[in-house]
Structure 1
Amino acid sequence: MTQYHGDPAILTLGPDFYDPVAPADFPQTILRFRNDRAAASVGLVGLTDEAWIRHFARFEAVPDNLREPLALRYHGHQFRSYNPEIGDGRGFLFAQMRDGADRLMDLGTKGSGRTPYSRFGDGRLTLKGGVREVLATEMLEALGVDTSQTFSLIETGEALERNDEPSPTRGAVLVRLQHSHIRIGTFQRLAYFEERENLTKLTDYCLAHYYGGGGGPAALLDHVSRETARLAASYVAAGFVHGVLNSDNIAITAQSFDYGPWRFTPFWDGAFTAAYFDHSGLYAFGRQPEAIHWDLVQLAASLRSIAPAEALTPALEAFPKRFQAALVTAIFRRLGLRPMEAERDAALLVALEEALAAKTVAIDRFFFDWRGGARRGPSPADDAYAGPEFAGWKRAVESYEAVPDALSHPYWSDESPCSMHIEEVEAIWCRIDTDDDWSPLHAKVAAVRRMGEAHAAPA
């Protein structure tokens, strides 16, 4: 079992990067979800429920860690419009610690109260928003996306007013476990204020704690280029639409986080959007690699004051090829197939996309039915598979071999795949909202984790 090891490394950056804040004093603290699997990874699994609430709703400091919460300072492009007035507006960094792999991890909050960056917001989180984040992070983790983990969800007994959902609605406070809350927007803020020394300091901090140390700005951008390409590919392979890929929502480690209007697209539809306010489709399913690459360019622009352009350009130019390579890895992982050679693997992806673009078979159904590279029927989609849309796919996949144990988990003998579409999410919330029945949520989390075990089975 991992031993707890507090490591508040953020303090080495100094007070130019954060503001000490006080958490909200909630009228109630009802524990609704605790992620003991995540807690075990950082040595906190042994906490009683009472101690859990003290730390993650009352925010009593954990040992050998930050003595007060810190609201992190950052800017960012929001739908490509620069906003210098943002920062941690309803959350803060609560603690840092090492996990079992000796990675520096953060415990950050959502809905923990007002900060200097709250502007006109109340600093709170709706319970529905918290439930949705639990479901998003669990499903993404199961599908192989490197995501923050929802560590804790506690209902706060507050009635919140919102313009975009029925109000008043129940309030909550969430804690996430994440490999860094430093964002591209953190660098943008320093560049905006021309704080070159702090840009260098932050670059060195990120290299030291997340990328093995050394190399300077060009090395950091190269690391982030590689990891953001992986992030974009993992979204596509999962059929996931984040919804708000602003530069303040891209962590410097490229670990996915901060889930608002997310959705899983039922079909392979490049124009599918998650946010009702994304009128132009900027962050649509098929445009997510472009959006993430655009954010990477903003990081490069921020580093220009401490590095020459010619040193930064190669990392930007490498992104498209890195994305394509990462997409092969992610798709083949979900299919449980062994890659062969680059040209043939790329052709398989083209055949897959052409077949799924017909929208005759749902994404989850397809990956479930074709796990290991061969149909093992019967399936409700058999008529579609017999159609001309899938002829190219069947020719392309027939020469591929499954990875060892691709179908060893009993999940692959189920009648239907585990999915996470908006109707399912709304049904889970409805049971909580109308009957205070949390059993569908916990059942769904258990089902998703079982699916994750099945995807992780191959060597």
Structure 2
Amino acid sequence: MPISPQAYRPEAKLLDLGDGFFDPVAPADFPETRLRFRNDRAAAQIGLDALTEDEWTRHFGRFEPLPGTLPQPFALRYHGHQFRNYNPDLGDGRGFTFAQMRDDRGRLMDLGTKGSGQTPWSRAGDGRLTLKGGVREILATEMLEALNVPTSRTLSLIETGEELQRGDEPSPTRSAVLVRLNHSHVRIGSFQRLAYHRDEAALRKLVGYTLRNLYDEDNDDPVRLLDLVVGRTARLAARYMAAGFVHGVLNSDNINVTGESFDYGPWRFAPTWDPAFTAAYFDHQGLYAFSRQPEAIHWDVMQLAVALRQIAESDPLVAALDQFGPRYQPEVTQAILWRLGVRPRDPDTDRDLVQATERALRTSGGGIDRFFFDAFGGELPGTYDEPWAEVRAALASYEPRKDRSHPYWSGEPCSMLIDEVEAIWAPIAEHDDWTALNAKVAVIRGMSQALAD
């Protein structure tokens, strides 16, 4: 197996938690494994980019164990609030964690699946993933990574040859198994489950595991953990807003403790700065609407504080939780300045620019991606008149953080609105033509290079 010993650093830290945190499972035996997407850029960061196609499909379609890591797949146990209603019957129902390793930054990473078969937590589900769902996750993760949002990455998508029945899309539809690379699958809901069962010993163990393995801190202080999670999730909320992204289902089982976005279902990018824009057709009350995402994530982190109350005093937990807002504000300022392509000046001036930008986007109804494309580097074209005068004046005092010499800036802004997602899927569904998807990924990665520091 062509794995570089310098780049491939396997781990099995999950086993330290013991079997009360997960269930050993077996992957589905799929009729076929046809490789559809292979992310060698991500694979290189964990030493797996030299795998042959046959090895790749054996590991990521048949789930042959990778050397030196977990001996078999494990379905994680967790609970969670779903649209503010507590559900104790959750857990990995169509996925599992099957490997851990260090990336090129030294972080502990998980390889997890989506669509790999039934587990004890599948309930009435078939444990499968539609091919369209896999394509949508590729597009979401590639776009978010390019826009500087901390996100899981889609490592692999393999078509599996089954016909699936789904009530919310034309059926039968094609099936797939997806592998994501994630900085932990430990969720807020993982702590909620232990609190629900009043298992203080297990709560302390999970706190220690998280601090040591995911934050590189040698302690087991639950208040310190909450403080770190508050900071990471405030950053996530801020970068969602700057990206114009709506996750759609910000339940507490979908928020991991490293503040890395993952598990993409009914996501959308907002075409305009519309506070009420929603991604999920079933979000009738707009609970997870575009402008309410910081509130939603803060509420989820509050549930972590409630769970940790069993092993820590209330006052320091409340004090840590109360820092979400004060941390979110500078994070959203920094995120929008990054997307504007300008260097920060001072907190008050920066905040004024961001507030002017949000007002102009909201009142003008202009496209989010178009504006940030045109404004990158700090100079608005002459076509931007009212209500952009305040933004233009504010930008005049800023220095660009990067020039516009990359070829991306000579074209059109890269967007990922729902109509284009459907247009990319249509030739796959009708003619098995993957050209549009591959071309879009190339354009997104070009944008990423143009935006990157």
TM-score, reference length from structure 2? 0.98
Aligned to 2:303: 298
Task: Verify the 8 A CA contact 1:162 1:168 in the aligned structure 2.
Answer: yes
Aligned to 1:129: 133
Distance 2:265 2:58 in 1: 26
Aligned to 1:233: 238
1:200 aligns with 2:196: no
1:393 aligns with 2:391: yes
Task: Verify the 8 A CA contact 1:153 1:172 in the aligned structure 2.
Answer: yes
One-letter amino acid matched to 2:236 = L
1:73 aligns with 2:73: no
Question: Gaps spanning 5+ residues in structure 1: where?
Answer: none
Distance 1:223 1:406 in 2: 34
Aligned to 1:454: 450
Tell me the CA shift for residue 9 of structure 1: 0.3
Tell me the CA shift for residue 353 of structure 1: 0.7
Aligned to 1:360: 365
Which of 281, 306, 330 is residue 276 of structure 1 equivalent to? 281
Aligned to 1:413: 410
Tell me the CA shift for residue 406 of structure 1: 3.3
What do the CA deviations read for 1:73-103 (whole angstroms, capped 9, x no partner)? 0000000000000000000001000111111
Three-state SS of the structure 2 residue aligned to 1:358 is helix
Distance 2:9 2:125 in 1: 35
Three-state SS of the structure 1 residue aligned to 2:58 is helix
> Which shows bigger deviation, 353-362 or 236-245?
353-362
Aligned to 1:139: 143
Equivalent residues in 2 for 1:284-433, closer than 5 Å: 284-376=289-381, 382=383, 385-386=384-385, 388-403=386-401, 405-414=402-411, 416-433=412-429
Task: Verify the 8 A CA contact 1:109 1:174 in the aligned structure 2.
Answer: yes
Which of 89, 99, 109 is residue 95 of structure 1 equivalent to? 99
Task: Verify the 8 A CA contact 2:380 2:392 in the aligned structure 1.
Answer: no
What do the CA deviations read for 1:12-47 (whole angstroms, capped 9, x no partner)? 000010000010000011000010011000000110
Distance 1:26 1:65 in 2: 23
Tell me the CA shift for residue 375 of structure 1: 2.5
Equivalent residues in 2 for 1:235-250, closer than 5 Å: 235-250=240-255
One-letter amino acid matched to 1:402 = P
1:108 aligns with 2:112: yes
What do the CA deviations read for 1:90-131 (whole angstroms, capped 9, x no partner)? 000010001111110000000000000000100000000000
Distance 1:113 1:360 in 2: 44
Three-state SS of the structure 2 residue aligned to 1:357 is helix
Three-state SS of the structure 2 residue aligned to 1:189 is helix
1:265 aligns with 2:270: yes
Distance 1:212 1:99 in 2: 14
One-letter amino acid matched to 2:387 = E
Q: How many residue pairs end up in the alignment?
A: 448
Tell me the CA shift for residue 315 of structure 1: 1.5
Q: CA RMSD in A?
A: 1.0
- Percent identical among aligned pairs is 62
Distance 1:375 1:396 in 2: 11
Distance 2:320 2:404 in 1: 38
Distance 2:37 2:166 in 1: 23
Distance 1:25 1:126 in 2: 16
Which of 49, 71, 87 is residue 83 of structure 1 equivalent to? 87
Task: Verify the 8 A CA contact 1:267 1:359 in the aligned structure 2.
Answer: no
